[in-house]
Structure 1
Amino acid sequence: MSRVGAEPGMAMDTGMLVPDRVAALAARQPDAVAIGSGGHALTYAELHDAATTLASELVARGVGPEVCVALCFERSSALVIAMLAVLEAGGFYLPLDPEYPAARLELMVRESDAVLVLGDQRSLALLPEDIGVPAVPVRDDGRAGFPGVTAPAVVPRAAVSPGNTAYVVYTSGSTGAPKGVVVTHSALRWFVENLQYAEPGTNDVVALASSPSFDALAFECWVALTRGARLHVVPRPVLLSPSELARSLRAGGVTMMYVTAALLQQLAVETPQFAAGLRILFFGGQRADHRSVLLVREKSAPARLVQVYGPTETTIWSSYQDVDEGGARGWIPLGEPIAGTTEYLLDAGLHPVPPGTPGEIYIGGDGVVRGYLGRPDLTAERFLPDPFRRGEPAARMYRTGDLARRRQDGSLEFLGRADGQVKIRGFRIELGEIELALTAHPEIAAAVVTVVEVPGGPQLIAHYVPEAGALPAKGRRLREFLAERMPPYMVPALYLPLERIPLAPNGKIDRPALVPPLTPDGRIDRRRLATRGAAG
C-alpha cells in the first residue's frame, strides 16, 4: 500500500539551488529584513554581502564541493550567515550544538573531515583544545577572525551540482556512535520548492528556535530565506521560559514556527496561549500528546496547527496533517505525503500490508538523502532500491523503522518504533548508544535503558548490574558520567540497580519486567521504587 504526494502545484519552478535563490532575493528585495535578533535587523542585502565575504575567505582556504566546515554557534545572525557562506563557497556545513559534550563534538568534527570550525566566541570556548582543526570566531555581522591576509572580496567558487552535499546532521547510532546523515543540494531544493502546504511568503516571520544540530533548523532558515520572509531569532533562555517565549513571538510578529511535540506538551501546561497570532504552528519529532495539542489549538487558536512527520534521512519531514482534520479521533494521523514523496507500508518481505495490519513505513522520492557519512554498510541496510518505481533503477526508499497501520477511514495511524530507537524532546536516539556508554563505567557490568511515558513526556530509565563486589553507584555520579559523553536529552533521569538483567523465555531481555511502578496519575512511584534500591 502506497501513498503518493500530490504533484507540485504551487512549487517554486526556479530550479535554483538554495544559495542562488537567496542571492536572487537579495537582488530583488535588498532592503527587506532577513533576520531580526535582539532588536537588531539584518537586511537581505546585508546578509548576502556578509555571506559572500565570508564565503570568499572560505574558498581562499580550500573550501569547495564535498569539503566540510563545522559550525558551532548559538542561534544567531552569525549562525545563519555562516550556513549561507559555506553553501555559497560550495562546501557543506556540519551544525554542532555547543551544549553537546566536548567528546561528542570532537568525534563529529573528526569523522566529517571538517577543515575548520566557525563559531561564536562562547561556543568555541566549549570545544576541546585539541579539536584538530582551526577554530575561527565569527562576529554577529559575519566578520571572521581568520589569521593572516584577508582574502579578495570575491573568490569564484567551484561549480556545485545538485548531487553535492549541502549539510550533514548527526543522529544517534545503535553501535555506540552517532551517524552523519548526508543531505544533498537536490534534496534540500526539493524540500524548499514543495511548500504548498505552508505557502510561505514575504509577509511571514519564521521563528529560528530549533537546536543548531536539529534538522528542523534547516526548515526554519531556508524556508524563510528562499521565500523572502524574515527570521526571528529565539535565544535558548527564551525558548526555555514559556512566558518569555510567548512575549518574544508577539514582539517579533512571528507567523510561522516549529516546535517538538515534547516542547508543545510543556507549553500546553504552562502557557497554552503561546501561539496566539501565529498563521501556522508546526509540531512533530515524536508522537504528540493529543490533549496538549487540542489545548493549544483552543487557547492559542493559530490559523493552522499542523503535525509533520518524517526522519532526517528523508530531508526534514515528508508528510503533514492539519489537526483540525484529525483532532476528533483521539489521535492524530500521519497525514499526507509532500509532493515528490511516496510512503509505503510494507511487511518484512517488502510486500504491501492490507488495511488494519501493522507494517513498517518506507519512504521514497526526491527527499531521500545520499546515506550515512562513511558508513556504506549501514547505508546499504537502510536505503534500499525502490521496487515499486519500475523503470527508475536509481530510485531508492528509506526504511524508517516506524510502524503504522491503515484505518478503515483511510488514515494512517502511527504505532511506534520497530527497533530500539525512541524520540526524546524531538531528538531521535538509539537506546543501545546509552547502554554502551553506561557499560563503559568501571563499576557497571551490564545495562539496559528503557522509556516510560509519564505526564511530562517520555522519560529514560537506566537499569544496571554493578560489577562483582561493587556497591550500586549513586545516580548523581552516573548522570555526571553520561553527561560528559552525550547531550542532555540522552542522559537518563533515573538509575535502578539490578542483581541481573531479566530475560524472557526466548533469551531476549524481558523489557516488560523492567517497567517501573506508576502512581494512579501515571507518574513514576519513587516510594515503591525505594524498595528496589533505586540509585536515584
Structure 2
Amino acid sequence: MGFESATLHNGASADGTRIDRLVDAQAAARPTAVAVRWRDEELSYDELVAQSRRVAEGLARLGVTAGDIVAVRVPPRPRLVGVLLGVLRLGAAYTVIPMEWPLARAEEVVRGAAARVCLVADGEEEVPGAPTVSLTGLLCGTAPVLSGPTAPATAPEVACLFFTSGSTGKPKGVLSPHLGTIRIAFDPRLGFGPETVMLQAASVAWDAFALEVWTPLVHGGTVVFAPATPVTGEVIRHAVAQGVNAMFLTTSLFNVTIDDDPGAFEGVELLMVGGERLSPKHMDTPVWLLDASGHPVPAGAAGEVAIGGPGVALGYTGNEAETARKFRTLPLGPDGAPERVYLTGDLAAYDDTGNLVFQGRNDRQIKIRGVRVEPGEVEAAITGLSGVGSATVLPVPVDATNIEGLVAFYTCASTPPVTEEEVRAAVAAVLPSAFVPKSAIRLPALPLNATGKLDRVRIVELLSSHTAAQAVATGDGEQHDGNLGVVLDQVRVLLNRPLTVQADIFDAGATSITAIQLAGRISRATGVTVPVSAVLRLRTPAGIAGFLDDADSDDDELAA
C-alpha cells in the first residue's frame, strides 16, 4: 500500500508517513478510548495526546528541534509513551535506555546517538554525555535552555534509534524510520484494529518495543504494559484476563511457554513469534539470498539474507563506513533496477516447501534471550580490565541454534591474577545482563593454531574439559530425597551439572528462561504451583525446596 495517506477504521484518512499523526487521528476519532494501561493506571487517547503536546512544548523551550535525537531513561509505564509521542510530535527521534542498564552503557548510548538531551524520571541520576533533564523540570519549564551545536543529528523521517551490539566493542545505533513500524501496523494479515489490546513486554531497547507500542496505537487499540517480567505463563494468563489479545514473544520464550504451559495462550488472537524460518510468500518485504559479491545465489544454495522495501532502516548513526557496508543499493529489481537493501549477516537457503531456513551467520553475532550480542564487545570489556592480557568468548551450548549464554577465556598479565568474579563484574558494569558470561576461565595462554590465530577447536575442547571437571566438583556427593531431591534433579537436568544445595543457580549459569523451565518442571513433579518469581527470589535449591516444604505444611494444616 502507499503510505502517504492511511485509511482509518472509521473511514477517515490521515498522514500515513508519521506515527504521531496517525495517533492524533485516532485521538480525534476515539478521544475517550483507553490508549495505554499499566495495572490500575490508564491514559485515554485524549490524555495521551495532551501529555505528548506538553512534552513537545517543553522540548521546544529547551531548544530541541526536528531532526534532533532525544535519549529517554524513564520506566516502562504509560507516561513513557506520552514522552515518546511528544518527541515524535516535534519531528525529533528518540532512543530509550532501559533503567536496568549500567550507567556506563547508558552513557555509550547517549554519546553514540549524539543526543541533544537525556530525559530521565524524577530522582534518577544524571547520564553523562548530554544535558540531563528530569520530566518535572521539562514540564514545569525550570530546566535551562540547551547550549552547544544545534545541527540536526538525523533526518526527520527517523522515529527512533535502537542500539545493537557492535563487533568493535561499541554499540551501533540503527536509524529506524516511521515507515518501518507503519508497514507492519498496516499489514492486513496481522489484523490490527481498534479492538487490538497488545501486551508490551519487550525490552525498551529493542526494535520489538516500537512494534508493541505503536502498531495498536495507530489503529486506536490499547497497549498494556506487562505487570511483571520475565513473561511467564502466569503473566500471560493475567494479561489475557485484563483484555490482552495480541503479543510478541521471542522464539526461546515461546518454546518454553508452549512446552510448560500451553493453555496460557487461550484468549490470544494474534501471537507474533520471532523465529528462524520465514516464508517469502507470506511477507511483503522483498528478500534476496546473495553471495559475497552481492549477486543472487543459485536455486538451493545458501546465501546472505538481504531485505528491502520502504521500511528498511536508514543506516547507523555516526558510522558511515558500516552503513555503506551493510546498507547497499544493488541491481536486484526488475530488469536490474536498483534496490536499496540491508545485508543482515544471516545465512539461509530455501527448503523444498519454499521456506527460508536459517543456517547460521557470516560473522560472530549471536542472540541470547532475544538480545543481539557481538562477542567482540564482551571481549573488549574484559581486556579493558586492569591485569587482563587477552580474552575470547564462546557461545554455549557450542554450535547450538538456541544460545543460552557465553563462557569467557582470559589470560592474566598481573599478580595476583584477576578472578572470575572480577571478570564477570567488569562486564556487568558496562554491558546489559545478556552480555555477562556465565563463567570465566583463566588460562596461561589462549591456544593458537599454526597460522597464529585463535584455535577454536582447542578452545572448545578446553571448555568441555572444564565443564566435566566442574560437574564433579560442584556436586555435594550426597543423595537427597523429598522436595530437595526433586529440585536438585531438575536443576541438574537444566544446567547439565549437579549443584550443592546452597549454590546460587544463577551464578551457575541459569537465566530467566531457565527459571521459567524450572518452575514449570518442579510444579508438575510436586503438584505445588511454584511461581517463577519464587525461583528468581530464592535462587538456591535449598531455598526453592523450602518454599515447597512451606506449601506442604500449609496443606497439612488445612487438612487437620
TM-score range, shorter chain: 0.7 to 0.9
Q: 1:338, CA displacement in angstroms? A: 6.8
Q: 1:456, CA displacement in angstroms? A: 12
Q: 1:436-462 CA distances to partner (integer Å, 9 max, x unpaired)?
A: 111111222111111113899523333
> Is the Cα contact below 8 Å between 2:250 and 2:370 reproduced in 1?
yes
Q: Return the alpha-carbon distance in structure 2 between the equivalents of residues 419 and 337 of structure 1.
A: 28
Residue correspondence of structure 1 range 11-410 to structure 2 within 5 A: 12=7, 14-16=14-16, 17-121=18-122, 124-125=124-125, 127-128=126-127, 130-137=128-135, 144-147=139-142, 164-193=157-186, 195-235=187-227, 238-240=228-230, 242=232, 244-268=234-258, 270-284=260-274, 287=276, 333-336=277-280, 340-389=284-333, 395-410=339-354
Pair 1:26–1:480, CA change in 2 (3 A): same
Larger Rg: 2
The DSSP-based 3-state class of the residue aligned with 1:434 is helix
Q: 1:114-141 CA distances to partner (integer Å, 9 max, x unpaired)?
A: 222223236x33x44x4540321259xx
Residue correspondence of structure 1 range 452-463 to structure 2 within 5 A: 452-453=396-397, 458-463=403-408
Pair 1:7–1:107, CA change in 2 (3 A): closer
Q: 1:364-383 CA distances to partner (integer Å, 9 max, x unpaired)?
A: 11121111001001111111
TM-score (norm 2): 0.75
Pair 1:190–1:495, CA change in 2 (3 A): same
Q: Return the alpha-carbon distance in structure 1 between the equivalents of residues 408 and 41 of structure 2.
A: 49
Q: Return the alpha-carbon distance in structure 1 between the equivalents of residues 63 and 28 of structure 2.
A: 27
Pair 1:205–1:241, CA change in 2 (3 A): closer
The DSSP-based 3-state class of the residue aligned with 1:447 is strand
> Is the Cα contact below 8 Å between 1:341 and 1:364 reproduced in 2?
yes
Q: Return the alpha-carbon distance in structure 1 between the equivalents of residues 161 and 281 of structure 2.
A: 23
The DSSP-based 3-state class of the residue aligned with 1:409 is coil
The DSSP-based 3-state class of the residue aligned with 1:201 is coil
Q: 1:509, CA displacement in angstroms? A: 2.3
> Is the Cα contact below 8 Å between 2:71 and 2:97 reproduced in 1?
yes
Aligned twin of 1:291: none
Aligned twin of 1:480: 425
> Is the Cα contact below 8 Å between 1:403 and 1:414 reproduced in 2?
yes
Q: Return the alpha-carbon distance in structure 2 between the equivalents of residues 494 and 448 of structure 1.
A: 12
> Is the Cα contact below 8 Å between 2:288 and 2:305 reproduced in 1?
yes
Q: 1:148-189 CA distances to partner (integer Å, 9 max, x unpaired)?
A: 699xxxxxxxxxx98632111111101110011112234343
State the percentage of identical aligned residues. Answer: 31
Q: 1:433, CA displacement in angstroms? A: 0.8
Q: Return the alpha-carbon distance in structure 1 between the equivalents of residues 416 and 401 of structure 2.
A: 31
Pair 1:240–1:30, CA change in 2 (3 A): same
Pair 1:380–1:241, CA change in 2 (3 A): closer
Q: Return the alpha-carbon distance in structure 2 between the equivalents of residues 7 and 94 of structure 1.
A: 27
Q: Return the alpha-carbon distance in structure 2 between the equivalents of residues 234 and 535 of structure 1.
A: 28
Q: 1:106, CA displacement in angstroms? A: 1.0
Root-mean-square deviation (Å) = 3.2
> Is the Cα contact below 8 Å between 2:197 and 2:245 reproduced in 1?
yes
> Is the Cα contact below 8 Å between 1:472 and 1:535 reproduced in 2?
no
Residue type of the alignment partner of 2:139 = A
Q: 1:389, CA displacement in angstroms? A: 2.4
Q: 1:226-256 CA distances to partner (integer Å, 9 max, x unpaired)?
A: 0111111114xx1226254134312321110
Q: 1:466, CA displacement in angstroms? A: 2.3
Q: 1:36-90 CA distances to partner (integer Å, 9 max, x unpaired)?
A: 1111221111111111122122222222211111111221101100110101111
The DSSP-based 3-state class of the residue aligned with 2:454 is coil
Q: 1:401, CA displacement in angstroms? A: 0.5
> Is the Cα contact below 8 Å between 2:181 and 2:215 reproduced in 1?
no
Q: Return the alpha-carbon distance in structure 1 between the equivalents of residues 345 and 357 of structure 2.
A: 14
Aligned twin of 2:456: 511
> Is the Cα contact below 8 Å between 2:290 and 2:297 reproduced in 1?
yes
The DSSP-based 3-state class of the residue aligned with 1:232 is strand
Q: Return the alpha-carbon distance in structure 1 between the equivalents of residues 352 and 298 of structure 2.
A: 11
Aligned twin of 2:369: 425
Question: Of 489, 494, 497, which residue of structure 1 is paired with 2:439?
Answer: 494
Q: 1:340, CA displacement in angstroms? A: 4.9
Q: 1:268, CA displacement in angstroms? A: 4.0
Q: Return the alpha-carbon distance in structure 1 between the equivalents of residues 346 and 285 of structure 2.
A: 17
Q: 1:7, CA displacement in angstroms? A: 9.9
Pair 1:449–1:180, CA change in 2 (3 A): same
Q: Return the alpha-carbon distance in structure 2 between the equivalents of residues 472 and 535 of structure 1.
A: 21
Q: 1:113, CA displacement in angstroms? A: 2.5
Pair 1:275–1:390, CA change in 2 (3 A): same
Q: 1:345, CA displacement in angstroms? A: 0.6
Q: Return the alpha-carbon distance in structure 2 between the equivalents of residues 69 and 409 of structure 1.
A: 45
Q: 1:29, CA displacement in angstroms? A: 0.8
Aligned twin of 1:330: none
Q: 1:274, CA displacement in angstroms? A: 2.5
> Is the Cα contact below 8 Å between 1:459 and 1:493 reproduced in 2?
no
Q: Return the alpha-carbon distance in structure 2 between the equivalents of residues 511 and 390 of structure 1.
A: 43
Q: 1:347, CA displacement in angstroms? A: 1.2
Q: Which moved more, 1:255-264 or 1:243-252?
A: 243-252
Residue type of the alignment partner of 1:430 = E
Q: Return the alpha-carbon distance in structure 1 between the equivalents of residues 163 and 434 of structure 2.
A: 14
* Aligned positions, number: 460
Q: Return the alpha-carbon distance in structure 2 between the equivalents of residues 109 and 271 of structure 1.
A: 40
Aligned twin of 1:435: 379
Greater helix share, structure number: 2
Q: 1:221, CA displacement in angstroms? A: 0.9
